[in-house]
Structures are given as structure tokens and as C-alpha cells.
Amino acid sequence: MTKAQLVKIVDCRIQNMATKGVYYPRRLKPKWDSLSKINEKLELFEKYLNAETSSIGFLRLMKVNLPEKTLESIIIDNPNCCDLLTENNIQAKCLAKFKKYKNGVEYLKSKGIE
């Protein structure tokens, strides 16, 4: 996977993250759309994944059992993309976020991760 391919995956996720009555990425989407360079976009993606606390979007999507719409699920679905990121333990952080919630644990089990 290349950086451009990862940015395309993240872009697609952000554009389709909105869920009527649940969540709309009001802050993330305009910020993401304003960036033009691949490295800037990857930095923003990492910033969101690296946060100590779960984002509002993550919490709301988990609450209605839509973990596959979260940014963190990109790391779970494409573990090889971690090589393109500067943070070494980003996958562990994403796993930890999912493991805090019943729907997250079920999502990880569906992906073959215990």
C-alpha cells in the first residue's frame, strides 16, 4: 500500500462517516478537505488515531454498533498501512479503544482479533 492509497481510504471513510441522527464529522471533514498534501492528511489521520481519548464520532458510532465507520477501523481492516505512519504503536492504541466497548470487542472478534 502507498501513502496515496491510504489517504484515499481515509478520505472515503471521512466522506461516508456521516450517519443520519447519529454523527456528522462537523470539525474533521472541513479540516480534512482543506488539506492538499498527502503528508498533511496522514498527519491529521495520525493525530486523531493517536489521541488518548476516543473522539465524539468514535463514541457515537460505537454506541449504535457502527464500528466499521470509524477511522480506527481503517487500521484494523488494513494492518499493513501502519508501516506508512510515523507512530509505532498506533495499532495497539486502536485495539485498546475498541476493547473498551462491547460493540468494539464484537467487531474485533468478527475480524478474527481477540
Q: How far apart are CA 43 and CA 26, in angstroms?
A: 19
Bridge partner list, 23: 19
Model pTM above 0.85: yes
Establish if 26 belongs to a structural domain.
no
Establish if 27 belongs to a structural domain.
no
Establish if 103 belongs to a structural domain.
yes
- Report which secondary-structure segment, H or E, holds 104: helix 102-110
Question: pLDDT 10s per residue in the chain (114 long)?
Answer: 899 999 999 999 999 999 999 999 999 999 999 999 999 999 999 999 998 888 999 999 999 999 999 999 999 999 889 889 887 889 999 999 999 999 999 999 999 987
Q: How many domains does the chain have?
A: 1
Establish if 21 belongs to a structural domain.
no
